[in-house]
C-alpha cells in the first residue's frame, strides 16, 4: 500500500465508473506502461513511476501533476531547477512559509514597484 498507489486507484476507479477507457489496461496503454506494472503501482507493490509517467497519468486523469508528484515523494524537475538557481533564497523562503496558513501564502504577491517621479 502507498499514498500514491491508493490515490491513483481511487481516482482511476472514479473515472472508470463513468467511462470504460479508465480501466487499468486502457490507461496503462495511453501512458506507455504495462498494465501489470500499473496494477502493481496501485497496490503499492512497485515504487511510483517516473516524473514523466506521473505527469502523463495526471494529464489523463485530470489531476494536478504537482499533487501527484508530492504523493509519490517527488518534486518536479521544473521546481527543482527554480530552487537550484537560487538555493539559499528559496530554501529560506520555503522554511519561513512552512507554517503560514494557505490564505497568507496566497497573499504573497509581487507588487509593482513605485519609484521617484
Partner 1 sequence: MIELERDALTFSFPEVHPQATLRIEFQRTLRIPDDDKTYPLPPGLGAFPMRHVDDQAANVPSQWLQRGGVMLPMYQSEAMWLNFITTTIQDRWQPYPFAIKVATGKQCAVSGEAWTDGLRRKPQNYLIAPKQPWLDGYVVEKGLIRQFVAMPLGAGYSAEEQITGKAEHGGLQLAVYPMKRDVFERRFPKLGRMELSRSEAFMETADMTLNFCMAAPDMGLAPGGRMRQEIFDDPYDLDDWNMDVGGRCFVHLCNSMVWQAITGAMPPHPAPTAKSYTDAGLPWFDYYDDSATAVEGAPVLSKLKSVNQMSSDKGDVALPENETVTPDNLVVFRKGLKRGQVREGVF
The answer to whether 93 and 86 have CB atoms below 8 angstroms apart is: no
Site residues for partner 1, 96-115, by CB under 8 A, read 107, 109-115
- The three cell numbers of residue 47 are 515504487
DSSP 8-state symbol, 62: T
Interface with partner 1 includes 85 (CB under 8 A)?
Answer: no
Distance of closest approach, residue 107 Cβ to partner 1, in angstroms: 8
User: Nearer Cβ to partner 1, position 1 or 112?
Assistant: 112
Is the CB of 95 or the CB of 110 nearer to partner 1? 110
d(CA 46, CA 64): 22
Residues near partner 1 (CB under 8 A) are 107, 109-117
Amino acid at each position: 500500500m502507498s499514498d500514491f498507489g491508493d490515490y491513483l486507484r481511487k481516482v482511476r476507479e472514479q473515472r472508470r465508473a463513468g467511462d470504460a477507457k479508465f480501466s487499468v489496461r486502457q490507461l496503462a496503454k495511453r501512458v506507455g506502461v504495462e498494465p501489470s506494472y500499473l496494477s502493481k503501482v496501485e497496490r503499492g507493490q512497485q515504487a511510483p513511476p517516473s516524473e514523466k509517467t506521473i505527469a502523463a497519468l495526471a494529464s489523463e486523469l485530470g489531476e494536478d501533476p504537482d499533487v501527484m508528484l508530492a504523493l509519490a515523494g517527488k518534486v518536479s524537475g521544473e521546481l527543482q531547477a527554480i530552487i537550484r538557481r537560487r538555493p539559499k533564497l528559496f530554501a529560506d523562503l520555503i522554511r519561513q512559509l512552512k507554517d503560514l496558513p494557505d490564505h497568507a501564502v496566497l497573499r504573497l504577491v509581487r507588487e509593482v514597484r513605485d519609484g521617484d517621479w
